[in-house]
Amino acid sequence: MKLADAFPFYPSLAGPVHNRDLRDPSAKLNGGEVAIDDSWRIVAASADPFVLFALEDLRDFLSAGMGVPVGAAGSGPAIRLEVDPATGEGNPETHRVAVTSTGITVTGASPVGVLRGIIFIEDVIRTRRAPFLPVGEVERSPLFERRIHRSCMSPFLVEELTGLREVPLADDDRTRPTDYRGWQHDDAGPDGFYPDSILRRLVHHGFNAIWIRGALCQFSRCDAFPEFGRTSGQILSALRGLTERAARHGLAVYLYFNEPLGLPGSSDFWERYPQCKGSHVAWGDRYCLCTSTPEVKSFLHDGMAYLFRQAPDLGGVILITASEFPSHCYCHIPTHGSTSLNEYIAEGRLCPRCAERSAQEVVGEVVTLIRDGIRTQSDSAEVIAWNWSWSLYEPDPQEGILQRLPEDVIIMGDFERGIMTRSAGFDYLNDEYSLKIIGPSDRFKGLAEFAHRRGRKVFAKIQIGATHEDATVPYLPVLANVVRKFQSLKDNGVRGLMNCWNFGNMPSLTTELAGIMGWDDAPQSVDEALTQLATRHFGRAAAPRVAAGWKLLSDAMQDFPGSIPVQYYGPVNRGPVLPLFLEQKGKEFPRSWLPDVDIEGDDLSRWTPPFGPEQVIKSFRALYDGWVKGLDALRTAIELAQGEDRTELVKEVGVAEMCALQFRCAANITEFIVTRDQWHAAIDTAKREPLRQRMLELLEDERETCEKVLPLLAADPRLGFHGEAYGYLVTDELVRSQLDGIEQTMSELGKG
């Protein structure tokens, strides 16, 4: 089975970027505009591959999108592509576009700047819906020097370059079996996960880097642990191949690390190196590699040196130093809570050697060792220290860690984590990526202020596609919030972005919107940005109503109950397929981000905090009611769109419809379980009967909801897919099974 067989949306990503006619035949040339027709030609003043790539891209666009074939010869007006390093203020992506009545000149500060200038011209034409450009001169530079994204086809819980399937990357939690299918397809591998067409799409959406996951014990060789990296030659060969192909598109490659990754207690590694055995972590029954030992320090330093010696063109590394994956000895130890370090030592959870040092010292040392190893091979590779879950070690903004980082390490902060928000009148702390929250949080502001006082760069970690709020849609259609987020990023001095995690990374309207908002000439208002995007895809007549609908959806999202328990273990991602049954089984809900085999669940206590079931029901009902208002506005735009614009709009409205049905399911599922448990507890028949009737009403509503999901799935193969799970959590088969289950439960309640 190939990727296209497993994921029917794959051909649309792997196919041509310029794939449909965008020209509005009614568009008329205005005064002050120049029309490009088949008398024009494109002339490159440089044979640089980027310049030639830009030339071919523009030629493809004009032909496929505007019906204008443009050659290289002739005496007609010309589009000239030039490189002038004096353009702008030193950013290689800066470009100047000069349009006159007799020709167009695109000047890049570097060859990649020429490519960015060509993409800008194409976007102006797409928005105009005709090959018309305004006379004048524009110079543009990116607001964010690094814009890092990832392919939605690249798996995470397996080594993604060669398919090595083992700890420490593989998910070895056998308590909840999964059906994870990463690297199980005939065309799996970097060429399939990152075909040139996907790289090209990422460039067109404004990104200039990609990230993939690394594990130093698999990628590198070192004297300290010679058994590590036995397949590193194959891995690094694949890495170099991807790096070279990405570079041809103007994309750097970054490796994400969470080092030093721990190993299972059963590993024979500990027999050979008992002195390196650090803290025990219950997650996966693993032990940390103790960074108080010289061997582990050497591994971090020399391993990174080896990696960058073998792959010198890497853009850099992104480092997490606190997460669920075991790494250094403090990785799972809250150090400013009520439990003492001695208690953690007695429990075997903290290594006594590292307890002699602070968590801040250990984290700072890990980052420094990695940085120093890289610097032996590269002066330019970026080392990005991500503050994910540093709140485990000290209060915000964790200056004890920040002060221990080398001056050339870039600090990246979660933009929305650590901020109070509200859902249907209930206040709570947001502690996850969020498209509900604009940001920044006080945590991020403190980090940014620390860095800015010292003249250091600050990057932000955001999600622009989908979040744990709802990750089985290609993107959350709250596009007004994306615009506001980018405006806030600019206002807070952010210099670079990591735009996704291992899900929420499908090329979509939101990634394209990020491209619009990532330049110094970005629209100043939400309406302008949304209307520009909508015009490109759905036509000028429909665009205002589409923009209005997106704004209403963004407003409705404010009622989402976005606690970590709700997002990690709640019902949204699988809403239309989660079984509803009368028996009280007390089972935890499936994990929302993994393809758990058993998806039954009825224990609300795990995932409803801090809200409680009644507030969760209230919040999801309020969210649904507000969402429907935006959905209705989007539907009114369909009649104003024409041809392929209408077809595309119907598909994108389907994304918003899917979200609405998922939110409705979440409310129904929660209320059904609450009502069922009350029904079981009731003794008096008079009390049981209204509860039985309410369950029947909820089951009937769920049946109607599931029936509405089926045509959406048939029309859009993106729906139901979850990137981290690397598969579909909602399918036609599962929805039909749910419908059968609803009938069975209704029958048990006394209604056939």
Count how many domains the chain has.
3
Q: Same domain for 633 and 676?
A: yes
Least confident of 88-102, 141-155, 161-175, 326-340: 161-175
Quick one: tokens of 394?
A: 């000290």
Question: Could you write out the three-class secondary structure of 37-67?
Answer: CCCCEEEECCCCHHHHHHHHHHHHHHHHHHC
Q: Which of 171-180, 238-247, 524-533, 568-577 has the lowest mean pLDDT?
A: 171-180
Place 176 in a pLDDT band, splitting at 50, 70 and 90.
confident
In a domain, 21, yes or no: no
Comparing C-alpha atoms, which of 185, 176, 130, 131 is closest to residue 154?
185
Residues 588 and 729 in one domain: yes
Domain co-membership, 133 together with 192: no
CA–CA distance, 717 with 720 (Å, rounded to integer): 8
Burial class (CB in 10 A: 0-12, 13-18, 19+), 126: buried
Task: Give the DSSP letter string of 111-159.
Answer: HHHHHHHHHHHHHHHHHHTSSEEESEEEEE-BSSSEEEE--TTS-SSS-
Indicate if 168 and 136 belong to the same structural domain: no
Is residue 435's pLDDT more than 80? Answer: yes
SS3 358: coil
For residues 211-217, average pLDDT: 97
Where b means 16+ CB within 10 Å and e means fewer, 221-256 reads bbebbeebbeebeebbebbbebbebbbebbbbbbbb
**Residue 547 lies inside a defined structural domain of this protein:** no
Q: Is residue 285 part of a domain?
A: no
Residue 206's pLDDT band, with cuts at 50, 70 and 90, is: very high
Handedness of CA 161, 163, 166, 167 (dihedral sign): positive
Q: Assess whether 175 and 129 both reside in one domain.
A: no
The CATH number given to whatever domain includes residue 164 is: 3.20.20.80
Q: Is a pLDDT exceeding 70 seen at residue 173?
A: no
Q: Percent of the chain at pLDDT above 90?
A: 95
**DSSP H/E element including 210:** strand 209-213
Q: Please, which residues have CB within 8 angstroms of residue 512's CB and are 6 or more apart in sequence?
A: 204, 205, 206, 533, 536
Are 733 and 705 found together in one domain?
yes
Residues 244 and 313: beta-carbon distance below 8 Å: yes
Residue 388 lies in a domain: yes
Digit-coded pLDDT (tens) for 536-561: 999 999 999 999 999 999 999 999 99
Domain ends where: 502, 523, 544? 523
Indicate the residue type of 119.
Answer: I
Quick check: is 541 in a domain? no
pLDDT digits (tens, 9 = 90+) for 50-65: 999 999 999 999 999 9
pLDDT of residue 174: 59
Contact 398, 533 (CB under 8 A): no
Of the candidates 124, 90, 91, 84, the one whose C-alpha atom is nearest the C-alpha of residue 108 is 84
If you average pLDDT over every residue of the chain, what do you get? 97
Q: Which of 120, 140, 160 is the last residue of a domain?
A: 140
558 alpha carbon, distance to own chain's centre? 20
Query: Do residue 408 and residue 510 come from a single domain?
Result: yes
Q: How far apart are CA 220 and CA 214, in angstroms?
A: 10
pLDDT in the model for residue 751: 59
pLDDT at 336 over 90: no
Per-residue H/E/C for 244-295: HHHHHCCCEEEEEECCCCCEECCCCHHHHCHHHEEEEECCCCEEEECCCCHH
Phi-psi label, residue 34: left if phi above 0, alpha if psi -120 to 50, beta otherwise: beta
Determine the average pLDDT of the residues in 380-403. Answer: 97
Query: Does residue 26 lie in a domain region?
Result: no
Q: Is residue 708 part of a domain?
A: yes
Same domain, 41 and 128: yes
pLDDT score of 752: 41
Q: What residues make up the domain containing 732?
A: 552-748
Strands 277-281 vs 496-498: parallel, antiparallel or unpaired = unpaired
Domain limit, last residue, from 483, 506, 523: 523
- Over range 293-319, report the average pLDDT: 99
Query: What pLDDT, on a 0 to 100 scale, did the predictor assign at position 172?
Result: 55
Same domain, 512 and 607: no
pLDDT higher than 80, residue 604: yes
> Helix, strand, or coil here: 488?
helix
Residue 606 confidence (pLDDT) above 60: yes
Secondary structure class of 80 (helix, strand, coil):
strand
103 in Cβ contact with 82 (< 8 Å): no
Statement to judge: residues 131 and 154 lie in one domain: no
Give the tens place of pLDDT for each residue, 709-721.
Answer: 999 999 999 999 9
**Tell me, what CATH number does 52's domain have?**
3.30.379.10
Residues 180 and 99 in one domain: no
For residues 356 and 434, give the distance between their C-alpha atoms in angstroms, rounded to a whole number: 37
How much is the pTM?
Answer: 0.97
User: Are 589 and 694 within one domain?
Assistant: yes
* 203 in a structural domain: yes
Q: Helix, strand, coil % (nearest 5) of the chain?
A: 45, 15, 45
Phi first, then psi: what are they for 492, rounded to 5°?
A: -100, 15
pLDDT bin (cut points 50, 70, 90) of residue 283 is confident
HSE, side-chain direction, 13 A CA sphere, residue 280: 11
Please give the Cα distance from 501 to 149 (Å, whole number): 8
The mean pLDDT of 510-534, rounded to a whole number, is 99
